[in-house]
């Protein structure tokens, strides 16, 4: 699943693929915001970690969990 995170006062967004489900990511983001956590930690499919300050979150976009089709559709 692809995650795109917008950060306040930054022209670019953070975009990466994760093996977590949309519900798991939604729960992590919601809990971090509700608990006034200073940062949010997410991991991508390759094992890298991303630490994002919650005070600077503009948006979090969760892509579809369906894998993309490759090739021709008959």
Report CA dihedral (32, 39, 63, 14) to the nearest 10 degrees.
170
**Per-residue pLDDT tens digits of the chain, which is 74 residues long:** 899 999 999 889 999 999 889 999 999 999 999 999 999 999 999 999 999 999 999 999 998 766 566 666 65
**pTM of the predicted protein model:** 0.77
| DSSP per position, 9-46 | T-SSEEEEE-SS-HHHHHHHHHHHHHTT-SEEEEE-TT
Report CA dihedral (33, 67, 69, 49) to the nearest 10 degrees.
70
In the chain, domain spans:
2-62
């Amino acid at each position: 699943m692809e995650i795109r995170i917008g950060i306040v006062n930054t022209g670019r967004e953070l975009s990466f693929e994760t093996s977590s489900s949309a519900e798991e990511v939604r729960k992590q983001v919601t809990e971090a915001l509700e608990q006034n956590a200073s940062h949010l930690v997410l991991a991508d499919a390759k094992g890298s970690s991303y630490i994002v300050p919650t005070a600077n979150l503009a948006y979090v976009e969760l892509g579809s969990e369906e894998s993309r089709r490759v090739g021709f559709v008959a």
